[in-house]
Amino acid sequence: MFYRSPLYEGIWLAGICLLLNGGLAPAQPVRTAGDNPKFVGALSCASSSCHGGGGARQDQYLVWSLNDFHSQKPVATLTTARAKQIADALQINDPTADARCVSCHAPLTAVPPARRGPAFSVAEGVSCESCHGPAENWLRSHTRTDFTHADRVFTGLRDLQNLYVRANTCVACHQTVATRLLQAGHPELIFELDGQCVAEPRHWQETPSWNHAQSWFVGQAVALREMSWQLANETPVDARLLARWHALLWLMQQLDGLDPALPRLNKISSAATAETLRTTQATADALARAAATLTWNDQLSRTALTRLAGTVAEFSQPEAAAGELPARQAERLVLALDRLLLAQNQINSAAETSLNQLFKQAQSVPDFEPARFAVTLNQFAAAINSRP
């Protein structure tokens, strides 16, 4: 597999994220058969005849409880020395009880007592119901053989087969870290849906139409929406967040017109005014929705890969030598190239070698050398365009 740089720190570790006056921008609500269903707890899924068995289709609870970082470890992270340092900087007495911390590390803390079932436990960390939704209305019925997927979604089971819904479920804790938390020492997070899904200990089966490139694209559109929302709601504007926003907008604008059905971002100004941020948020959300329902094919993946590999001039121009933006563009670009190359049917060893070098060159924002990166990116472009 490809080289994995420190850029991936935090991509799939939802529990590492702490929110402060932040959260997921409003999205389409999930339709359910009843109001305010209870959270019944992960143990309700753990019997050997359900998801706690040894079979490949019945071991979901075991995979989560034994191998997944989301199980209990997010809560434990709040007791570490690093968590204490961040808490001290923010004058937080107890990070295991403060909403700025537990919103991602122990999200079940926010569940009101009236909605807690007998087996409910805050200590579960990011549990089954954190992702799949409160189970009271669908726990018994979701195993019925006469129920369709639509029936299960109607009863409240979150439709994680839909990439838009999946991205919405993950993005807030995988990306949105308030500036004050970053200044206190919290690690910066980069949301990348496809890399997150691949890194997650697998306890599900993807649909036959699932594609690495489509998963990546939907995730980046949602990430742009959330970043626009955060910039519009935080004052003062953080220079690092602004540079990351510019980089992601630039990246997605390279793929305008990838398919006629997809909304375009090319008319959005790089000036992050309040109006621009509102427009970007709305357009990125529409883009994510449309991309999630698109019939994705290999040609779309190939076109996206070729376009992004062709951005050499962005890093070879003299003005690229100054400022943080080129480094942030490279940071996003190498993650994109990684997922898009993975979506190709044939493994290209020369392209992998160049990509490994690109990852290394994009590891450090302060040490980034645009001209050197441009040379390697040109080698990558040549490799993907050569015959195997």
Could you tell me if residue 1 is inside a domain? no
Q: Is 108 helix (H, G, I), strand (E, B) or coil?
A: helix
**Same domain as 214, residue 130:** no
**Same domain as 194, residue 256:** yes
Q: Are 37 and 245 in contact (CB under 8 A)?
A: no
User: How much is the pLDDT for 185?
Assistant: 93
Distance between CA atoms of 334 and 341, rounded to whole angstroms? Answer: 10
**Same domain as 218, residue 119:** no
Q: Are 17 and 176 in contact (CB under 8 A)?
A: yes
Q: Are 373 and 333 in contact (CB under 8 A)?
A: no
User: How much is the pLDDT for 333?
Assistant: 98
**Same domain as 201, residue 285:** yes
Number of domains, the chain: 2
The last residue of one of the domains, among 130, 158, 186, is 158
Distance between CA atoms of 106 and 125, rounded to whole angstroms? Answer: 5
User: How much is the pLDDT for 26?
Assistant: 38
CA 1 to chain centre: 20
Taking CA atoms, 107 is separated from 23, 70, 197, 220, in Å, by: 12, 11, 20, 24
What angle, 0 to 180 degrees and rounded to 10, lies between the N-to-C axes of helices 239-253 and 325-342? 40
Q: Are 336 and 248 in contact (CB under 8 A)?
A: no
**Same domain as 310, residue 176:** yes
**Same domain as 208, residue 333:** yes
The last residue of one of the domains, among 129, 158, 187, is 158
**Same domain as 168, residue 52:** no
User: How much is the pLDDT for 385?
Assistant: 87
**pLDDT 10s per residue in the chain (388 long)?**
232 333 333 333 333 333 333 344 433 334 444 578 999 999 888 888 888 887 777 888 888 888 888 887 888 899 999 999 999 999 999 999 999 999 999 999 999 999 999 999 988 889 999 999 999 999 888 888 889 999 999 999 999 999 999 999 999 899 999 999 999 999 999 999 999 899 888 888 888 888 999 999 999 999 999 999 999 999 888 899 999 999 999 999 999 999 999 999 999 988 999 999 999 999 999 999 999 999 999 999 999 999 999 999 999 987 767 789 999 999 999 999 999 999 987 778 999 999 999 999 999 999 999 999 999 999 999 999 885 5
pTM, 2 dp:
0.89
User: How much is the pLDDT for 270?
Assistant: 87
Amino acid letter, residue 46: A
288 lies in which domain range? Answer: 163-388
The last residue of one of the domains, among 123, 158, 193, is 158
Distance between CA atoms of 155 and 138, rounded to whole angstroms? Answer: 5
Could you tell me if residue 229 is inside a domain? yes
